[in-house]
A = this chain, B = another copy of it.
């Protein structure tokens, strides 16, 4: 299962940094990886709280930052909306079509676009590491 793979990566990162594993850390990790992506801090906090009602808000933040550092999560900031956190290792890379009306995220991949991006970077003597493509507009239901 992919989730176990992601967990291993995180535990490895924790150990490598001389940090420690805790009950709370494991809960947050598991809830995050089960969340399906695009989750806000508050949503994650609420979900973790259902399993461990004594969890602190700061602990959610601290561990989300670790997930970012470990490369398991990525921030998504859209306009004035709350920051969302996308899972990076559980799922294949993908880009987003984002509906300006209902806020829906449609996940897409286009291999040709990916290739052209690399070529474009190459032309500018730029070494690409990752990218973010977001197309805003109106989804099937809202257009």
Q: Name A residues whose Cβ lies closer than 8 Å to a Cβ of B.
A: 75, 77, 79, 97, 99-100, 106, 108, 110, 112-113, 116-117, 120-121, 124-140, 143
Contact = CB atoms under 8 A, between A and B. Distances in A.
A129 B108 contact: no
Contact of A108 (B106, B124, B132, B135): B124
Contacts of A129: 100, 136-138
B120 A108 contact: yes
Contact of A131 (B99, B133, B143): B133
Contact of A128 (B126, B128, B137): B137
Given A113-B120, A117-B113, A120-B110, A138 B133 contact: no
Contacts of A77: 77
Contacts of A134: 131-133
Contacts of A136: 128-132
Contacts of A137: 121, 126-130
A82 B136 CA distance: 22
A101 B36 CA distance: 31
Contacts of A121: 97, 135, 137
A99 B38 CA distance: 25
Which of A121, A127, A129, A130 has the most chain B CB within a 10 Å cutoff?
A127
